[in-house]
Amino acid sequence: MITFILSLAILLAGYIFYSRYLERTMEVDPNRPTPAVSMGDGVDFVPMPWWRVLLIQFLNIAGLGPIFGAIAGALWGPVAFVWIVLGTVFAGAVHDYFSGMLSVRHNGLSITEVIGIYLGNITKQLMRIFTIVLLVLVGVVFISGPAGILANLTPATLDFRFWVWVIFIYYILATLLPIDKIIGKIYPLFGFALLFMAVSLIIALIVKGYAIPELTSENWRNFHYDKEKFPIFPMLFITIACGAISGFHATQSPLMARCMKNEKEGRKVFYGAMVIEGIVALIWAAISMSFFGGVRELGEVMVAQKGNAAWVVNEISNSLLGKFGAILAILGVVAAPITSGDTAFRSARLTIGDLLRFNQKPIRNRLIITVPLFAVGFLLTKINFDVVWRYFAWSNQTLATVVLWAITVYLFQKRKAYWITLLPALFMTAVVTTYIMLAPEGLALSKPVSYATGFAVTTLVFSTFLFYTRNKTVKS
């Protein structure tokens, strides 16, 4: 319990103190017009109250990440608490804050365009394709997953295909309509409910006397049931993504960068939403380690359920909160992915719109992009994504790494404290490189070769950055 409380305190302290340092580094100006004010179009650039923007941002970036990712991450034991806390405060929230604020400073541009400004045109073109594919994958999987769950909860006449069409139609409307018509109205309610769900569960867990494992010298080790295939580094840092750092967040932040009324709101909206997500991930990791009797027992359950995290969520929610918990569980495993899927498609539309320089205010222009986008998405719902989806976690963290490097270059150019993103950028470079070398879905190389390659690539990237900084310093 001490470890959990201390972890929670560090997350809150990160928001109270470290985010203010980042705000000073960014030199926010409350008098500078934001894109929502200077470019308002009633569709994507729509001023909204900061609390509404915060809750929308939280639900956009959350989805199932801080729930399913935290449950899977709990298999490594209490060391997961360390990554959630330090990852959120010094990597994820920093990544989200600067990616959001750079979008604000660049007229609400999508993250791929921001990357291009600081890492060059070739990188921009590669990341445009990479990001659009990633967003479509997110949207498609977040059609199939919830549709399957709803089909199991409803009469046989309402089958999988029926729910695919229902969700698909909703996605089209949410992608096309002005952001304040659907997303702006229902997301704050779902965002509050998702947070309320997590807080209610941890309170119930404590009241009912469950023991949350402590992080001790003895427990500072790998508890995973398959240690050889899943070493802490790099597997834990890929598995717990949205609860610590996630490149998907950088695709969502521009949506809210177009809705903020004041630059001072960025700290609450971007850094604050990531801290809230970190708290949710922390809660679910703690519950998962405790509810079944311990980390080993959680591993046995996950093996028996073939990694079915949705079953774990349902079992925990029903047991700790009763029938009310069942409703919250449905909200968590259905509403959360749906509300990330629709904004994934919306982000894809905006990214393509930036690419083609299409004004998105006329409905005709939105349809020109949306129709083929959803045609591709519908075709992809008919494909089994079990294999393809394994690459999503790595792709997600790779995007986060590229974004961190873009921010680092920005901070260097502005002669600011670029170490605040350089350090997490170096760490994540090592993580994603080592993972793709080691993982079964990657090259499946040996540990020594994978670790050596990860170190070598990270050193090469760092050397390239040092060469860049030295070159720029000499020229200036």
Render pLDDT for 157-206 as a digit per residue (tens, 0 to 9).
888 889 888 888 888 887 788 877 777 777 777 777 778 888 888 999 99
pTM across the whole model:
0.90
| Of 243, 249, 203, nearest in space to 69 by CA | 243
Q: In b/e form, how buried is each residue of 57-70, taking b as 16+ CB within 10 angstroms?
A: bbbbbbbbbbbbbb
pLDDT tens sequence across 266-275: 999 999 999 9
Task: Note the pLDDT of residue 475.
Answer: 61
Task: Note the pLDDT of residue 385.
Answer: 47
3-class SS of residue 385: coil
Task: Note the pLDDT of residue 439.
Answer: 92
Task: Note the pLDDT of residue 90.
Answer: 98
Task: Note the pLDDT of residue 382.
Answer: 66
Q: What's the one-letter identity of residue 288?
A: S
The set of residues, in sequence order, having a beta carbon less than 8 Å from that of 60 and lying 6+ positions away, is: 187, 252, 255, 256, 339, 340, 343
CA distance readout (Å), 41 to 35, 180, 259, 334: 10, 12, 11, 31
Span between the terminal Cα atoms of the chain, in Å: 53
Task: Note the pLDDT of residue 156.
Answer: 84
Instruction: Return contacts of 401-404, CB within 8 angstroms, 24+ apart.
Output: 401/247, 401/425, 401/428, 401/429, 401/431, 401/432, 402/115, 402/119, 402/123, 402/127, 402/247, 403/95, 403/99, 403/111, 403/115, 403/247, 403/250, 404/91, 404/95, 404/428
Q: Which residues of the chain have a pLDDT value below 50?
A: 385-386
Task: Note the pLDDT of residue 358.
Answer: 78
Q: In b/e form, how buried is each residue of 267-306, taking b as 16+ CB within 10 angstroms?
A: bbbbbbbbbbbbbbbbbbbbbbbbbbeebeebbebbeeee
Cα 100 to Cα 408: distance, rounded to the nearest angstrom:
14
Task: Note the pLDDT of residue 74.
Answer: 96
**CB of 89 closer than 8 Å to CB of 11:** yes
Compute φ and ψ for 180, nearest 5 degrees.
Answer: -85, -5
The set of residues, in sequence order, having a beta carbon less than 8 Å from that of 390 and lying 6+ positions away, is: 441
